[in-house]
Amino acid sequence: MATIGQAIASYERTLISGNTPFDRWYYGRDRAALAREAQRGFKLFTGKARCGACHALGHDHALFTDQEPHNTGIGWQRSMHTRAAETAVPIAPGLNVAKHLVEAVSEPPPNDLGRYEVTQDPVDRWRYKTPSLRNVALTAPYMHDGSFATLADVVAYYNRGGYAAPDLDRLIKPLGLSTMEQNDLVVFLESLTGDNVGEIAADGVAAPIGDPKASTRVP
């Protein structure tokens, strides 16, 4: 297990991406690198919408994460099963099956208690580590359980103050953003795509995936 962990960590350390329109504008001081909407979105991100309090950035670098676990309400909501019960489950393109039919023939989903599962400390229930937002436009669906399909859905969730979960982080509360402001935030998030994602993706499938003897290759 230790070797597998080290191998995965070594691979993860190669997933470095930068030189985004945002980097060229903010760190490179290229005033034309970032669309006006995205510039407004950045102002909201670090100001009124308080995203930067957790998706942190500094004077000379930006990982867009404070590396800390927070309760944004997503895990609680999942544990309480209060999400719309009838989310259809796609099993083939164009073929969705009602969720209750899938659940009738599958095992109950395991508990989803976040950081608590490691620390066993009740204050850590439903806390998840803040993810980086680099290349976030390419990594839908969102949140640890993939419960949001688009960045607009994520921003709308923060804007309405999340779910009324116990021990919700104090920063998760209604933001009062207009439709335009929400859109500006989405355009800003879309400006975080690096210039080497093609290379990273090619690396990801450079080695055979699965059992090498079966030589499975992903095109």
Q: Which residues bind ligand HEC (CB under 6 A)?
A: 49-51, 53-55, 70, 72, 74-75, 128, 130-131, 133, 136, 139, 142-144, 151, 154-155, 158, 169, 171-172, 185, 189
Rounded CA separation 61/216 (Å): 38
**Residue 103 · residue 112 · CB < 8 Å:** no
Cβ 217 to ligand HEC shortest distance, Å: 27
Cβ 97 to ligand HEC shortest distance, Å: 25
Q: Which is nearer to ligand HEC, 33 or 189 (CB)?
A: 189
One-letter amino acid of 62:
A
Rounded CA separation 42/113 (Å): 32
Q: Which is nearer to ligand HEC, 160 or 217 (CB)?
A: 160
**Residue 127 · residue 115 · CB < 8 Å:** yes
Q: Which is nearer to ligand HEC, 98 or 180 (CB)?
A: 180
Cβ 147 to ligand HEC shortest distance, Å: 8
Q: Which is nearer to ligand HEC, 170 or 213 (CB)?
A: 170
**Residue 25 · residue 187 · CB < 8 Å:** no
Q: Which is nearer to ligand HEC, 33 or 172 (CB)?
A: 172
Rounded CA separation 146/149 (Å): 7
Cβ 87 to ligand HEC shortest distance, Å: 17
Q: Compute the chain's Rg from CA coordinates.
A: 20
Cβ 54 to ligand HEC shortest distance, Å: 3
